[in-house]
Structure 1
Amino acid sequence: MHRSAPRLSRILACAAVPVMLVVAGCSSDSGDAKDSGSGASASASAKKTEPTVEPAKFAELPDACSSSLGKKTIEDLVPKTKNKGGSPGTSSDTTSRGRCSWNGLDDNGVKGSQYRWLDVGYTRFDSDQSLGSGADRAKDEYTKQVAKAQATEGAEKTSAKPATGLGEQATAVTYGLTKSKEDFEYATVVARTGNVVVSVTYNGAGFAGAKTPSAADILKGAQKAAKEAVAAVGASGDDTEKSSASPSAEASASSSAKTDDKS
């Protein structure tokens, strides 16, 4: 009787081993499930907090030839314009790029002639998750165009100054340039409004003994054209404002209009 007690204890201990292993296995599975669920939750959370770029303000551009400048402005800045409708630049995507230029020679006989050339260019950028917002991309382009104007080959007495009243940022670059033995005065105004960069270049020269136009007059003309060209971007449409009205708001407005009609 006394000898059977130890044998019984050993049997019970051995029998308990598989049970403990099973319990341990269940505990391990439970932990894995929790870890898996936690990982999925963290992944979902990461996706939700991923930053999104600011929507582009403008989705289209004004026609550079027909909508950028008023007819009176073109007549004032480019007398005797060869093509009043302007000469359009080539672009494979008119929603992203547009350009137009005008030139004319005002012949005054023995008093000489005055030549003028005017160019308006637009560059628009969309917002892209990998490239950044349209506004930020336009800022980079704005900086490049100002630097390009300042680096014009053969330019003399180059000057760059901030221009006011033209979008979010603007710079006016002036310089002199000799071409075909004639002295030209140049002014390039580069401005940014939202996700659009506007560039206006105006130059002039006196031929056959006529005086070269003053740098101040050329700059004044370029700034006048730039103000109209920038304003034309805003007039072409603002996506943010258009999309702010929800379908329910539109329905409410329609219902209100009908009520007004009945009254």
Structure 2
Amino acid sequence: MSEGTMQRRDQRDQRDQRAKRLNRVLVCAAAVPVMLVAAGCSSDSGSGDGGDKPAKAAASVSASPSPTVQAAAYDKLPEPCEVLSKKTLGDLVPKGNKSGKEGTSDDLSTRAGCSWSSLDNNGVKGSQFRWLSVSLLRFESDVTRGAGDKLAQEYYAKQVQDVQSVEGAKNAKAEPVSGTGDEATAVRYDLKKKEGTFKQQTVVARVENVVVTLDYNGAGLAGDKTPDADDLMKAAKKAAKEAVAAVASANGEDGGNGGGTASGSPSASPSKSSSTSSKSPSKDASASASASRSAAKKS
């Protein structure tokens, strides 16, 4: 029952009580003798504890607060193919920094992504292959499911677990990443394919109610040397920090530090509450969760 409905019911109850009291007064005024009038009115005036109970009960119901939930800090996502600078793309995918392909999405305000590929052909010495992907997933607050940042935390934890359980992964290692959103984890592993050994680097980061997943892998093909995993990871961490900063900037914040806004900081979003539910990105979350598992399959 809505608050407006309860208020209207309360008003009707109060009007009924006043009408009953008025009728009793009129009856008492017409009765004799005066002593009986006084006795009758005092015994059934409704001014005692019992008379106001229905009104008080209705008022108590009307005073019950409606369900609310903390509003999500971020309400938009940046353009996925523009979250990284040209310099960063030139470093990570030198032969494909202009080949960004935006992923498909039913709602770009809650889910977006972009990928780039690069093949540096060295002739008889072989080739160097690189593949880069950035996925963005934003969670809205919902009175039935919870606050957006809490939903993002849950998805972040699941995403990190999924990345570490990729089929065929060898030498998997995970480590926390500082200075990138509210929390971030980097995962690396090797994946052997017929073309060569792929060095996979994945950074999963959460900033407020948005989860960023950056996949970056490289391989030496046709006899070329395998790229150094440490170099790839260093580049992936830098790019992930840049992508997180782009999320903050898209929402009117200074994302230069690559981190989320701390509680009480000048740039923190003001506290808001919402009593309406929004579209849930659960289906998009399931689709995005598979991005890390398929990253090394790209060629």
Sort the TM-score into its range (normalised by shorter chain).
0.7 to 0.9
Contact residue 73 and residue 225 of structure 1 kept, 8 A: yes
**Alignment correspondent of 1:256:** none
- Which structure 2 residues correspond to residues 71-150 of structure 1 after superposition, within 5 A? 71-81=86-96, 84-150=98-164
Q: CA deviation at 1:98?
A: 0.4
Report the RMSD for the aligned CA atoms in angstroms: 2.6
**Alignment correspondent of 2:200:** 186
**Alignment correspondent of 1:36:** 54
Distance verdict in 2 for CA 1:203–1:52, change over 3 Å = same
1: distance between equivalents of 2:235 and 2:163? 17
2: distance between equivalents of 1:84 and 1:97? 22
2: distance between equivalents of 1:167 and 1:78? 24
Is the partner of 2:84 in helix, strand or coil? Answer: coil
Q: CA deviation at 1:221?
A: 1.4
Is the partner of 1:69 in helix, strand or coil? Answer: coil
Counterpart AA for 1:124: R
* Pair 1:227 & 2:241 matched: yes
- Which structure 2 residues correspond to residues 1-263 of structure 1 after superposition, within 5 A? 26=44, 31-47=49-65, 52-65=68-81, 67-81=82-96, 84-238=98-252
Deviations 1:8-27 (A, max 9, x none): xxxxxxxxxx99x9679727
Is the partner of 2:106 in helix, strand or coil? Answer: coil
| Structure with max Cα Rg | 1
Contact residue 59 and residue 238 of structure 1 kept, 8 A: no
Identity %: 47
TM-score, scaled relative to structure 2 = 0.68
Counterpart AA for 1:235: S
Contact residue 58 and residue 238 of structure 1 kept, 8 A: no
Counterpart AA for 2:52: K
Q: Which runs of 5+ in 2 are unaligned?
A: 1-35, 254-260, 262-266, 271-299
Counterpart AA for 1:206: G
Distance verdict in 2 for CA 1:33–1:182, change over 3 Å = farther
2: distance between equivalents of 1:96 and 1:211? 40
Distance verdict in 2 for CA 1:128–1:195, change over 3 Å = same
1: distance between equivalents of 2:164 and 2:268? 38
Contact residue 99 and residue 117 of structure 2 kept, 8 A: no
Counterpart AA for 2:153: K
**Alignment correspondent of 2:283:** none
- State the aligned residue count: 223
2: distance between equivalents of 1:76 and 1:140? 32
Higher helix share: 1
Deviations 1:19-64 (A, max 9, x none): 9x967972779544322122123223322xx563211111110011
